[in-house]
Structure 1
Amino acid sequence: MQHIEANGYSVFFNEKGYTSLNHFISQRNYSNIFIISDTNSNENCLPKFLSLLETDKNNEIIEIEPGETEKNITTCVEIWSILTELGADRKSLLINIGGGVITDIGGFIASTFKRGIDFINIPTTLLAMVDASIGGKNGVDLGNLKNQIGVINVPKMVIIDTDFLSTLPQNEMRSGLAEMLKHGLIFDEKYWNEFKDLNQKDFADFDQLIHRSVEIKNEIVMQDPTENGIRKALNFGHTLGHAIESYFLENESKKTLLHGEAIAIGMILESFLSYEKELISREEYQEIKYVLKEIYPFIEFDKNDIEQIIKLLSFDKKNEYGKILFVLLDKIGNIKINQQINNESIFKAFEDYHL
């Protein structure tokens, strides 16, 4: 697959990625190389990566536990301390190999350690491949609040090896698929239509779908790297989706939702809000709702759940001047940003979700 040129870096695919990585490292005088990974990627993905890494530079592996609960400033402090103890300096290279938690936190650690060192992302989950590792957003959660602390800073390159997807359980694949579905809804109706019958797709098709998903995100980010305008489109489904994810993360009586599972619900709810504002037709809304509910498990919400989720909306990153702002669809393949919605409409969206 053809590599993709982004703002200041390139996204390489499969075998070409390792060739490009080895050439890149050989052309730069790094003092040493550090690899951040979690226990899952360390077991399933790191052996292949290390077998293809060609360098005489010393490399150290820093392993953390998997999961969103590790994406916090405490983990950062621990890794900054380890880097210091191991003699990392401003000429060190950090390679993040893992899912979205690893690329998010690894990019943040690299961007802030000694005021910034070079880093490379090697995403190993579908979610990280099509979303988290692309676009330069790096950061951590603040308590249960998603991505409240962070920076925008691009890696030196991203390598997407779809062979790593064979190690993922189905629920993790579905989680990443939510972002691909989102890319179609906000940018490319033809791409959205590709997902209406996933049973007809084979793995070769899926490689191309991943490539197109990365293209879409990159095209949006290239227009608006710092999210002052059109890049907000990528938050479709995330205003309510992140609030749902945070609520389930902090509530011990609830089963924790994967990112994509929460975002899928958010996309259904925000599609209803788009329909209610007459931005999409009833038929478009019903199509979106049907496709997403066929893929993702139904989650029950009671009145208290919804009230608590609405309270969490006040912490959304897109909010401005105390106003909660949504990204809504304006027909499939287009969006409207900075849309205000009242609580009554949100309750109606949840009510329709239950039907």
Structure 2
Amino acid sequence: MDTIQSDNYPIYFDNSIAELAGFVARGKYTNVFILTDENTGQHCLPLLQERLGDNFDLIEVNAGEESKTIDFCIGIWKTLIDFGADRGSLLINLGGGVITDMGGFVASTYKRGIDFVHVPTTLLSQVDASVGGKTGVDVDGIKNIVGTFTQPKAVFMVADFLQTLPPRQVLSGLAEMLKHGLICDADYWNTLKVSDLTVPSAELVHRSVQIKNQVVIEDPTEKGIRKSLNFGHTIGHAVETYSLLNDADHLSHGEAIAVGMICEAWLANQKTGLPDEDLAEITAVLTTLYPPYKIAADCHKDLYALMQKDKKNYGGKINCTLLTHIGQYSVDNNCTEDELCDSLKYYAAL
């Protein structure tokens, strides 16, 4: 497959590990660091070591969203200081969305910025988190509330890493792929809904990266078209945070976004003219792929309170990206508490 060119950096698909080794050699970096967690350290790091040798220092954090905090960033910054990292250093973020989000933030702020690259190891990070230059950490459970827009120097997609994922992690990334079709490519949505998605093909991953990359190139700092990527995320992020705080086996990002897309499709049916048949189709596809999540009526207030803290809000109003048809979207739709709670009731009644 072709290398995709984003804003001043390449996204490699073919021979990506060899490309990474060449990138590191050409960069003549003073120090090379790999940030990972215990899962990717076990399953994915050995493949990098085959090509990079031992010419790097390893920084490992605990796996999971719980690690994506300022406290963990402080630990990473202190480790970089201890290892003597200077402005000529490179940070390789090897992992899923937590690692790429947090690693990008750490690199973009350490000594006012050092180079970093992403080697995404999950489907979610390949089709979403590693592309677009958003970095961030959570504060008090609020998703990505502190962060920067900083582009990596390159992204290296390794298809073999997807073979290491449990089915639940594949489904998590699939939610973002389905979103890409829903917001701007009905043909892609139609392809996805009839495909074997046990491990999505390299071609499907490539198409999702193309879609997101094109949106980001047109609107790198989310002033207009990039807001389309927020479909399902206003409600979905609130559900994800609520589950993280309250459930022993909390929802994955994609599971929560699937809930959000169903709710926001209902809002679109009410507010932006999404046809009844499109709402029914979206609901049917997503409820078939994703297990139901129990949303009790007594937690609607808690979910609404979380939505009020969403970083996409403006002027005290809750802002949603909604669909007008499958493959078409409308941004900057203000939604009231009653409307948002009614959308949660629609989901709960399924």
TM-score by length of 2: 0.97
Matched with 2:51 is 52
Residues 243-290 of structure 1, C-alpha deviation per residue, up to 9 Å, x if partnerless?
111111112x56311000000000000000001124210000000000
1:85 matches 2:82: yes
Match of 1:301 among 295, 300, 305: 295
**Which residue number corresponds to residue 186 of structure 1?**
183
Aligned to 2:21: 22
Q: Residue in 1 aligned with 2:143?
A: 146
For the 8 Å contact 2:304–2:341, the answer to whether it is kept is: no
Return the alpha-carbon distance in structure 1 between the equivalents of residues 125 and 117 of structure 2. Answer: 13
Q: Which amino acid aligns with 1:175?
A: S
Q: State the AA in 2 paired with 1:294.
A: T
Structure 2 CA distance, aligned partners of 1:226 and 1:108? 15
* Deviations 1:113-166, CA, capped at 9 Å, x for gaps: 111000010000000000000000011000211000000100010001010011
**Counterparts of 2:184 and 2:205, CA distance in 1:** 15
Counterpart of 2:126 in structure 1 is: 129
| Map of 2:331 onto structure 1 | 337
**2:230 is the alignment partner of 1:235:** yes
Q: Deviations over 1:179-235 (max 9, x none)?
A: 000000001000000122233x686x6110000000000010001000111101101
| Per-residue CA distance 1:280-302 (angstroms, 9 max, x = gap) | 10000000000000000101111
- Partners of 2:266 and 2:230 lie apart in 1 by 16
Name the % identity: 47
For the residue of structure 1 that corresponds to 2:192, the secondary structure is coil
Which of residues 189, 207, 226 is equivalent to 2:202?
A: 207
Q: Which residue of 2 aligns with 1:267?
A: 261
Question: Partner of 2:30 in structure 1?
Answer: 31
Matched residue SS, 1:227: coil
Aligned to 1:8: 8
Shift in CA distance, 278/325, structure 1 to aligned 2, threshold 3 Å: closer
1:27 aligns to what SS in structure 2?
helix
Report the Cα distance in structure 2 between the residues aligned to 1:131 and 1:339, rounded to whole angstroms: 23
CA shift in 2, pair 1:30/1:269, >3 Å: same
Shift of 1:303: 1.3
Q: Is 2:273 the counterpart of 1:279?
A: yes
Secondary structure of 1:275's counterpart equals: helix
Q: What is the SS of the residue equivalent to 1:8?
A: coil
Q: Alpha-carbon deviation of 1:348? A: 2.2
Which residue is equivalent to 2:285?
Answer: 291
Matches within 5 A, 1:147-186: 147-186=144-183
**Residue 347 (str. 1) matches residue 346 (str. 2):** no
Is residue 2:215 matched to residue 1:224? Answer: no
- 8 Å Cα contact 2:34-2:92 kept in structure 1: yes
Secondary structure in 2 aligned to 1:138? coil
The CA distance in 2 between the partners of 1:103 and 1:10, in whole Å, is: 16
**Corresponding residue of 2:39:** 40
| Secondary structure at 1:90 match in 2 | coil
Runs of 4+ off more than 3 Å: none
Partners of 1:202 and 1:305 in 2: CA distance: 33
8 Å CA contact retained: 2:272, 2:330: no
Q: Helix, strand or coil for the counterpart of 2:333?
A: strand
**TM-score between both structures, scaled by the size of structure 1:** 0.95
Q: Which one-letter code corresponds to 2:157 in the other structure?
A: I
* Partner SS state of residue 350, structure 1: helix
Which 10-residue stretch deviates more, 340-349 or 313-322?
340-349
Residue deviations 1:294-316 (CA, integer Å, cap 9, x gap): 00010111112112101111111
Greater Cα shift, 181-190 or 295-304: 295-304
Q: In 1, distance between residues paired with 2:154 and 2:217?
A: 15
- Supply the AA of the counterpart residue of 1:320: Y
Determine helix, strand or coil for the equivalent of 1:135.
coil
Equivalence for 1:104:
101
Q: Note the aligned Cα RMSD (angstroms).
A: 1.4
Indicate the SS of the match to 2:104.
helix
Report the Cα distance in structure 2 between the residues aligned to 1:195 and 1:34, rounded to whole angstroms.
37
User: What amino acid sits opposite 1:248 in the alignment?
Assistant: S
Unaligned runs of 5+ in 1: none
Q: Distance in 2 between matches of 1:239 and 1:326?
A: 6
Q: Secondary structure at the match of 2:107?
A: helix
Conserved 8 A contact 2:318-2:336:
no
